[in-house]
Structure 1
Amino acid sequence: MTLSKLLYWIYTFIHPVLMWTLFGICIYAMTLGLKVRTTRTTPDKDLRKSLIKQRFNIKHHQIGAILLSIMVLGSIGGMGVTYINNGKLFVGAHLLAGLGMTGLVAILASLTPLMQRGSQTARDVHLWLSVLILGLFGWEAITGMQIVQRIIEQG
């Protein structure tokens, strides 16, 4: 196998592995976010103190920053590899879902200052957009595996 062929396969499969990892990170971030919500809304003061000590809010912010960075870079990388390998982008469900998720995760991050000021509307929008992103991620995972299968079949 030539070096260029090896690099082709490495670049081609970095994106799917990265995106599946990111899907798991999204689920973890949402779990942390729900724990932050529980911490903020629980009427039990002892439980709240116990939850605050676990620093879910800081973990959620850190994971969210990583998520935003990887999603943007992963989207650019996936489109870049596709263009390098094919000389064009294929406009379809996979590309549109990926671009949609990238835009939505930027909106999620932009809601942070409003949520820090106590806006319940911003918190609710953040939660529902997160659910939408997970749905799009599921769709992207299915279409992405179809693409990987076609690449493997073409050899």
Structure 2
Amino acid sequence: MSSQGNRDAHFQSGVLLAALGTFFAIEGPLNTYARAGKLFPGPHLYAGAGLVVLWSFAAACVPAMQKGSDTARSLHIGLNAAGTGLFAWQVVSGWPILLKVLEKTQWP
């Protein structure tokens, strides 16, 4: 299995997910503030911030995992499982926001 390069593919996918996720976690509130002049604190905003924190903690486990730490591996898996739950909450809590934005948007 190690000859298939799964570790490298997993690492590259994780890097891409963390980079895009962090970008959009910052872009979303900035876009909201630019359009509405304020932020709307709530579950969606908090889940997004929490997700970025979990991603950074999970990424911080990588050096210890590369040295063979099973504790770091378990922590990495647990943090990403919790992150998956927060991402699911992002989808659930973001749906009404999306509908409101589409309702209030002036289409050409």
TM-score above 0.5: yes
> Which residue does the alignment assign to 1:98?
48
Distance across 2 between alignment mates of 1:66 and 1:154: 32
Deviation at 1:81, TM superposition (A): 0.4
Equivalent position of 1:128 in the other structure = 78
Matches within 5 A, 1:67-106: 67-106=17-56
Task: Report the number of matched residues.
Answer: 105
Q: How far has the Cα of 1:153 moved from its partner? A: 2.3
Q: Counterparts of 1:65 and 1:147 in 2: how far apart (Å)?
A: 28
- Aligned partners of 1:54, 1:109: CA distance in 2, in Å? 22
Percent identity for Structure 1 against Structure 2: 36
Distance 1:133 1:100 in 2: 8
User: If the length of structure 2 is used for normalisation, what is the TM-score?
Assistant: 0.93
1:111 to 61, 67, 86: 61
Q: List 4+ stretches of structure 1 deviating above 4 A.
A: none
Whole-Å separation in 2 of the counterparts to 1:69 and 1:153: 30
Distance (whole Å) between structure 2 residues aligned to residue 74 and residue 116 of structure 1: 29
Alignment of 1:2-151 (within 5 A): 51-151=1-101
Amino acid at match of 2:5: R
2:69 alignment partner AA: S
Distance of 2:40 and 2:93 partners within structure 1: 12
Find the aligned partners of 1:54 and 1:147 in 2 and give their Cα distance.
Answer: 42
Give the number of the structure whose alpha-carbon radius of gyration is greater.
1
AA matched with 1:57: R
Give the counterpart letter for 1:98 in structure 2.
G
Q: Structure 1: which 5+ runs fail to align?
A: 1-50
Shift of the alpha carbon at 1:78?
0.5
Query: Cα distance, 1:152 vs. partner?
Result: 1.9
The 3-state SS of whatever aligns with 2:68 is: coil
